[in-house]
Amino acid sequence: GIQVEQSPPDLILQEGANSTLRCNFSDSVNNLQWFHQNPWGQLINLFYIPSGTKQNGRLSATTVATERYSLLYISSSQTTDSGVYFCAVERSPMNTGFQKLVFGTGTRLLVSP
């Protein structure tokens, strides 16, 4: 199956710093999503971004599908950004049928005041 690798596994930032999280995947994809899991376990969908660039406030994401990676940028980080960030991908189907989202193991971010 498709492999999804996220880096770095852990990241500690001072409040106000910027960061870049990376997601590499091993096959062509037609679906890529970024999620944030807060310290209470709730997963929030940040971006649906199979290709191109999107921005939402201090967060932005870029997916370069031809080179099989996606980047999540966090600018001016805040303590509420702490948690785990997951990338999830769906492999481009070889034939008809339902493909599954496969999750990476995440990047754990701690933003200190």
Partner 1 sequence: DVKVTQSSRYLVKRTGEKVFLECVQDMDHENMFWYRQDPGLGLRLIYFSYDVKMKEKGDIPEGYSVSREKKERFSLILESASTNQTSMYLCASGQGGSGANVLTFGAGSRLTVL
Q: Which is nearer to partner 1, 12 or 101 (CB)?
A: 101
Residue-wise burial string across 46-67, b where 16 or more C-beta atoms lie within 10 A, e elsewhere: bbebbeeeeeeeebbbbbebee
- Please name the amino acid found at residue 112: S
How far apart (Å, rounded) are the C-alpha atoms in residues 18 and 111?
Answer: 10
**Candidate residues 26, 75, 82, 99; the one interacting with partner 1 per rule CB under 8 A:** 99
Residues paired with residue 37 on neighbouring β-strands, in sequence order: 43, 84
Q: Which is nearer to partner 1, 8 or 16 (CB)?
A: 8
Tell whether residue 94 is a contact of partner 1 (CB under 8 A).
no
Within 10 angstroms of residue 90's Cβ, the number of other Cβ atoms is: 18
Least distance between partner 1 and beta carbon 77 (Å): 23
Tell whether residue 24 is a contact of partner 1 (CB under 8 A).
no
Tell whether residue 86 is a contact of partner 1 (CB under 8 A).
yes
Residues that bind partner 1 (CB under 8 A): 30-31, 33, 35, 40-45, 48, 50, 86, 88, 90, 92-93, 96-101, 103-106
